[in-house]
Structures are given as structure tokens and as C-alpha cells.
Amino acid sequence: MDWDSFLTPYKQAVDELKVKLKGIREQYQKTSLHTPIEFVTGRVKPISSILNKAERKQIPLNRLGEMQDIGGVRIVTQFVEDIDKVIDLIRSRTDFVIVSERDYIKEKKPSGYRSYHMMLQYPVHTIKGRENVIVELQIRTMSMNFWATIEHSLRYKYSGEIPDDINMRLQRASEAAFWLDEEMSIIRDEVQEAQRIITAKQRQNRG
Ligand code: 0O2
């Protein structure tokens, strides 16, 4: 298996998408608008993880292109409402095709995992010509990301067999993360409302 030539288009796709998505954030930062993108990360799945997953999902090596998260990009937002804004921004793009979407926020995974996933078919131009690769875009809040990052490293530590008591605590932590997202949105709405009242009063006093 020539891993280098197999993974090169994925690396290019991830790198290009990161630049483009960070560009959106920078454009927002130049305005007075709230930026729906807090930060962007991306990675190409390590070969050992590709092989593990291929074995788990019984994908033969000559069909690895079917694995949809070899290239992965993540957008992390401050608020849950920002996720819808980001989804709209992604849907309006013409430089890639959205192949499928999975809403693990409306329906969280049994583990407690919440995130919005979009599978993008992204064209890269290599010296061998144009090639379409699938990149998994994950969109989640900072709170969802906090939970998923810790749960992911625990799952790795316990080789996928997380003890029942830890699993239960992770479920509770997932509910706490959900509550935190809701609370932060309410606080933001109240601050914005207070700001509107203050601005309106200032205008009245001036006029
Ligand atoms: P990595 O590279 O280590 O992040 P499935 O078999 O249904 O669980 P599938 O069909 O491959 O997974 O697709 P799905 O559900 O979109 O999951 C792909 C990626 O989503 C995972 O990659 C994780 O990054 C994330 N994810 C999905 N479920 C969970 C979860 O319960 N907890 C956490 N922390 N992340 C999750 P990998 O395979 O873990 O690889």
C-alpha cells in the first residue's frame, strides 16, 4: 500500500479547507458582527487508526476510499445557534459538494456525543490531475468539543471498553455540557436585550 500517494490528496483537501474556513472567521472579525466560527482544526487520520477502523468495519484495503473520515475538519463555535449559521455558510458554497449530513445534536449518540457532521466531496488538483476526496466536517460548540475530546481520549485509554461507572458519569457530563450550551445562549440573549435597551435610551436622550 502506497500510503503517501493515497493520503496526499486528503492532506491537501484538509489544508485547503482549513485556510478557507479560517478565512471566513477573519472576514467576520473585520466587521462588528459576531463570528460564528471560534476556531478551525483539521487532521488526516493516522494510518494506525485507518487500519483499526478498516478492520472494525470490515473495509478491504482496496476500498479505503469508502471510509468517510480519513480527512477531517472541525469548526468549533461559541453558541449552539452559531452551528445553524455555519451550516448555512457551508451549504452556500460552490467549491465542494455536500454528500450527506448527520445531525447528532437533535439526536445525540448513545455515548452522549453531540455534533453536526457534513460529508463534503472536495476536488483537489494534484500533479496527477483532479481528484475528489471525501472530508468529514464536524461542527460543534466549545462545550460539545470539551466533552467529545475528553470522552475520545478515555475511549482510547480504555481501548473502547469504558467501565460502566465512567460511562454513566460521561452521560451525566454530556447532560451538563448540554445545559451549559443552553445557559450560555440565554445569558447572551439577555445581554443583547440589555444592550438594545441601553442604546435606545442613549438615542432618546440625544434626540
Ligand atoms: P478519530 O479520527 O479518532 O476522531 P460510528 O461507527 O457510527 O461510530 P462512523 O460511521 O465512522 O462512526 O461515523 P461518525 O459517527 O460520523 O463518526 C466519525 C467521527 O465522529 C469519529 O471519528 C469521532 O471523531 C466522531 N465521533 C463519533 N461518535 C463519537 C463518540 O461517541 N464520541 C466521540 N468523542 N467522538 C465521536 P473516530 O472514528 O473516532 O476517529
Region 21-26: mean pLDDT is 97
Which candidate, 104, 172, 187, places its Cα nearest to that of 141?
104
The span from the CA of 174 to the CA of 3, in Å, is 37
Fold of 3-200: Beta Polymerase; domain 2 (3.30.460)
* 192 — pLDDT class (breaks 50, 70, 90): confident
The span from the CA of 20 to the CA of 123, in Å, is 14
* 26 — pLDDT class (breaks 50, 70, 90): very high
Instruction: Map out the domains of the chain as residue ranges.
Output: 3-200
How many angstroms does the Cα of residue 141 sit away from the middle of ligand 1? 16
Number of H helices, E strands in the chain: 5, 5
| Range ranked top by mean pLDDT from 61-65, 79-83, 154-158, 201-205 | 79-83
117 lines ligand 1 (CB under 6 A): yes
103 lines ligand 1 (CB under 6 A): no
Position 21 scores a pLDDT of 98
| Residue 207 in this model has a pLDDT that exceeds 80 | no
Position 50 scores a pLDDT of 96
How do beta strands 116-126 and 129-141 pair?
Answer: antiparallel
Q: How far is CA 35 from the centre of its chain?
A: 15
Residues 68, 74, 75, 79, CA torsion sign? positive
State the helix-helix crossing angle for 164-206 and 142-157, rounded to 10 degrees. Answer: 170
146 lines ligand 1 (CB under 6 A): no
Index of the ligand 1 atom closest to the CA of residue 72: 2
Region 195-206: mean pLDDT is 87
| Residue 31 in this model has a pLDDT that exceeds 90 | yes
**Alpha carbon nearest to ligand 1 atom 1, residue:** 45
Q: Are 3 and 47 in contact (CB under 8 A)?
A: yes
**pTM for this entry:** 0.92
Q: Is 81 an active-site residue?
A: no
The span from the CA of 187 to the CA of 193, in Å, is 10
**Alpha carbon nearest to ligand 1 atom 38, residue:** 53
- The interface pTM score, or ipTM, of the predicted complex is 0.91
Position 191 scores a pLDDT of 87
Region 40-49: mean pLDDT is 97
Region 170-175: mean pLDDT is 96
Summarised one tens digit per residue, pLDDT across range 146-168 is: 999 999 999 988 988 899 999 99
SS3 content of the chain, % helix, strand, coil (to 5): 55, 20, 25
Which candidate, 143, 145, 140, 142, places its Cα nearest to that of 179?
143
Residue type, 62: N
* C-alpha cell at position 88: 448555512
The dihedrals phi and psi of 163, each to the nearest 5 degrees, come to -60, 150
| Residue 199 in this model has a pLDDT that exceeds 90 | no
